[in-house]
Structure 1
Amino acid sequence: MKSCIPEAYIRYLVHFHTDRDYFECHEILEEHWKKDGYKKVWVVLIQIAVALYHHRRGNNQGALRMMQKARSLLEKEERAIHGLGLDEQLLAEQLERYIERIMQNKGYESIELPIRDETLRKICQTICEKQGLTWGQASDLNNVYLMHKHKLRDRTEVIAARERKRKNKELPDR
């Protein structure tokens, strides 16, 4: 495990294993992915979070597509996944089982990523303790905001940024 663990990755793992805010997992790692040179290893983790978000919402087709993409990309990124402190073989098996689950029309189930690096696990669990979060708790299926965050989140800043960008494009060159 590298001595310099990206803060975004830690935040991803904490959300993934506590509040199960997969939408936030996606947002966190997508931002990091852009800053980190678009490395595909981050896409694997983003796709897993997106697949679980879709499955929890009952979008089995979207979940299956994303989970299959994650599984396929994992084959190319096994070494990088290992470098992030995850057990790439167990993760591949886990994704295969989850793909089967979706194909059998079974409902959403919270999963834990197979963290093999104990230092990484301890860092995450220490953060959880400090924030009063419970590592490994199941997703709250009654939390409407968590289930439909892509529709319910505040997009004021995103809309404002797009408007600023549009206006800048309209300004004549000086």
Structure 2
Amino acid sequence: MYPEQYIQFLVHFNGDRDYFECHEILEEYWKESTDKKKDSVWVGFILLAVSRYHHRRGNFRGAQRTLEKAIKILSLHQNVLSKQGLDVSVLFQLLSKLLREIENEEIYQSINLPVTDSLLLKTCRKECENRGVNWGQKSNIEDESIVHRHKLRDRTMVIEERLEALRVKKGNE
């Protein structure tokens, strides 16, 4: 009923709090499965994860900017959010609260996306259990491999893709 990538997103978001991985999983899914609209619900989720990543690292400006974009996009898809097993009213209350906390430069606190579909919740909890992670656990802000993940990854492919895009662009000019 739900895309596997969405389940994995939820497991990371509400489980191990690996927001960088949330972004990676859904970005790949969005690129492969949609018409790549920038106001897709998947982009809203991606931006939400990026905002949480920035907030945890103390980048309030980046967190605010991406959360505002996420809210704008997600608000366009309230019916889809409900079909994705989320409590829409609780979600938007939570997002408003997060935005206020970021604007006030309050310290990061873990949040849980409000999953209401019992089967989805059971599936996510089981996946967390299989990974040795507790659903709803607080973020381990001492874990450098999660908190500063973008600094630790191999960016060779990203750099190569950007260079190729530039070559193509220059060839078309």
Structure 2: how far apart are the matches of 1:18 and 1:93? 21
TM-score by length of 1: 0.87
C-alpha deviation, 1:20, in angstroms = 0.6
Structure 1: how far apart are the matches of 2:145 and 2:120? 29
C-alpha root-mean-square deviation of aligned residues, in Å?
Answer: 1.8
With over 3 angstroms needed to count, the CA separation of the structure-2 counterparts of 1:84 and 1:159, relative to structure 1, is same
Map 1:74-153 onto structure 2 (within 5 A): 74-153=74-153
C-alpha deviation, 1:160, in angstroms = 5.7
- Give the percent of matched residue pairs that are identical in Structure 1 and Structure 2: 46
- For the pair 1:68 / 2:68, whether they are aligned, the reply is yes
The alignment partner of 2:108 has SS state of coil
Structure 1 counterpart of 2:6, which letter?
Y
Deviation string 1:27-49 (CA, Å, 9 cap, x unpaired) is: 00000011121361111111110
Structure 2: how far apart are the matches of 1:147 and 1:98? 18
Structure 2: how far apart are the matches of 1:81 and 1:148? 29
Structure 2: how far apart are the matches of 1:17 and 1:114? 9
C-alpha deviation, 1:131, in angstroms = 2.0
Structure 2 counterpart of 1:42, which letter?
W
TM-score by length of 2: 0.87
Structure 2 counterpart of 1:18, which letter?
G
Structure 2: how far apart are the matches of 1:130 and 1:56? 26
**Rg (Cα) greater in structure:** 1
- The gaps in structure 1 that reach 5 residues or longer are 170-174
Match of 2:11 in 1: 14
